[in-house]
Amino acid sequence: MVMVMENARPVTIVLVSAIASGQGKTTTTAALARKLLKLGKTVRVFKTGPDFIDPMMLKRACGHAVQSLDLWMVGLEQSQAMLAQAAQQVDVILIEGVMGLYDGNPSSADLARAFGVPVLAVVDASAMAQTVGAVVMGLRDFGPVQLAGVVANRVASSGHARMIAEAMRDIPLLATLPRQRQALPERHLGLVLPDEVSQLDSMLDQLADQLALDMPAWEGLPKLALPPALPTDTPKLLQGKTIAIARDAAFAFLYPTNLECLHDLGARLEFFSPIKDEAVPENADAVYLPGGYPELHAQALTQAGRWQQSMCAAYAAGIPILAECGGMMVLTDKLVDKQESEWPMLGLLAGTVVMQSRLAALGPQAWSTPQGVLRGHAFHYSRFETALQAETHTQKHSSGEPGEAIYRSGNLSASYFHSYFPSSPQATAALFLPRPA
């Protein structure tokens, strides 16, 4: 557990969790962040575990990039450093948990205990009243965890809220949120991208206004003082290199810390949009195609002749290319979407990607390279039908079983695996440098 330091700046920190997914953690965290902003507080939000889409929505709610905290993928020291840095700048830190409070290894509860952070439990109260008390007592005592209080979500009326509050015994009901006529829209990988939601800021403002927050109880929460982070020195292994990064609605799955890691390694970053038919910048020393939703933009990608030619030219010239998940999908011969329409892709990897309704892979994994172990995760609803032989496979955490295939062709590296670059800056740098002959 993090020790309290007298010279550190005390802030309110809570981890927002629940009994399961679907209880309203993201909606509640977004509503609470926006509400506190409107009350004049400075707020920073973090997301537990691997995630791309929820952090984008939470960024819109709080106005600042949302980073991942995870005891395995990010690591204890890096997680502590990011929390400590944020604590020197803001009044409130909200950490949205993943799945249920005790799900996973490590779990959201493990993270809360590691840093001495109290838990704010979100409960979908739409089909119960007094039983909310039993549910949250179980959440508190099973671990146990320090429970800051409860947010009752989808509350029907003031009478409903009163019954819930009376059943809570010694656990404070910190806030209630009524049933929403218009929920944040979702698709197969989670919430849709924020830029695709019309009037999103109005929706967030409305959620904040509807969140009935007990301010005296909130202000009475204990404040934590985290020890300042120790400075780190990242070797400038990419000094003088320019990395071209695809970034648009088709390639949106980027950890903010991945970009920071590349910058710390000395690289210059340039962004381009394949769906706008922007070519790979001519000065690029390497190309990064992150994940996203290429299947939703297959027609635009198929028609993007300048982008296609520039990618094929980069590959032929031996420029290092890293393609992750959606980035790998566009390198194949063909993409078959959920409507069974077939779209020709770049043809740099022989095979066909087929979208499916069933989840193909989910969970943390690690890629062992000669330069170090890159940690990350896999999460996709497609399969790659190919005769290509993988150079290696990632390993699933914590079973150690084979995970995603890693395909290498010249200086091209492609996989469904999403890397968390700060887990091994040396291994990251090697992916953007020509492979030894």
Just list the catalytic residues. Answer: 325
Q: Distance between CA atoms of 240 and 265, rounded to whole angstroms?
A: 10
Structure tokens, 78: 């890096």
Residue type (1 letter), 422: P
**Residue 27's closest CA among 56, 54, 65, 63?**
54
Per-residue three-class SS string for 335-385: EECCCCCEEECCCCEEEEEEECCCCCEEEEEEEEECCEEEEEEEEECEEEE
- Residues 266 and 241: beta-carbon distance below 8 Å: yes
Q: Distance between CA atoms of 278 and 399, rounded to whole angstroms?
A: 42
Structure tokens, 411: 């200086």
**Residue 146's closest CA among 224, 49, 54?**
224
Q: In the beta sheet, which residues pair with residue 22?
A: none
Residue type (1 letter), 394: T
90 φ/ψ angles, rounded to the nearest 5 degrees: -135, 170
Q: Distance between CA atoms of 101 and 351, rounded to whole angstroms?
A: 40
First-residue to last-residue Cα distance in the chain: 47
**Residue 417's closest CA among 364, 358, 371, 370?**
364
107 φ/ψ angles, rounded to the nearest 5 degrees: -100, 175
For residue 248, give the H/E element and its range. Answer: none
